[in-house]
Amino acid sequence: MGERDDAGSVDRVIDCVCFDFDGTLVDSLDAAFNAYQVVGPAFGCVPLTREDLKGLRGLHLREVIQALGLPFYRVPRMAQRMRQAMRAELMETPPVAGIAEVLDAFARPGRRLGVLSSNAESSVRDYCARHGLERFDFVVGGASLFGKSGALRRILRRQSLQAGALLYVGDELRDLEAARAVGAAFAAVGWGYTALERLAAAGPDHLAATPAELLALANSLGSAPR
């Protein structure tokens, strides 16, 4: 089954579905929060409570960084330290409930599945092996926080894909922006780092408030014809 683009005039056949990792496949917010309590003070960031997280979920990542009082030039180093600090807890955090069934539904004959993450490729593969999510044809790790569009372009090249044949699934506005930058379709999920309302206002191609809604999308796409 094809998929209409925003103009409603061109059918997309989705040959590849690429997933963000943190917040999309795994609910890593607690691990990130706990890592922040350790790493944040060393970078001069403002104290953060769990109640504060509710307000931050309505913001773009750039706005979050500003709210935390972190100079942008220090972002790459802090992101690296955060990933190191949260790795152990992340490995013990179960996948989002129902996500395995979602992956099975997307994995139709002729369609590839992938992961794009700022985490190291080895960490993502270790996590998937530990939690029974070994369904991916490729894993791309080490993407910079604001460099996902470049990573998506490399995926298109390496997988010999047209942009219109790629569906990117993510939980943040920067994921949506990356998909738009390369011409891919985007499915926003509402259980991750960015609030569903903020994602909806940005106009994604698809919006899933729950894994069940993402599963319905997977079933509606059907098999990619060959």
Token pair belonging to 153: 């372009």
Strands (E), the chain: 3-4, 11-12, 16-20, 112-116, 138-140, 166-170, 185-189, 206-208
- How far is residue 214's CA from residue 105's CA, in Å, rounded to a whole number? 10
Neighbours of 125 (CB within 10 A): 17
Annotated catalytic, 20? yes
* C-alpha span between 209 and 188 (Å, rounded): 8
- Catalytic residue, candidates 20, 27, 175, 205: 20
Task: Kindly report the length of the chain.
Answer: 226
Residue 137: what residue type?
D
Contact 127, 133 (CB under 8 A): yes
For 45, 94, 95, 184, 195, the CA distances from 31, given in Å and listed in that order, are: 17, 11, 13, 30, 18
Q: Which residues are catalytic?
A: 20
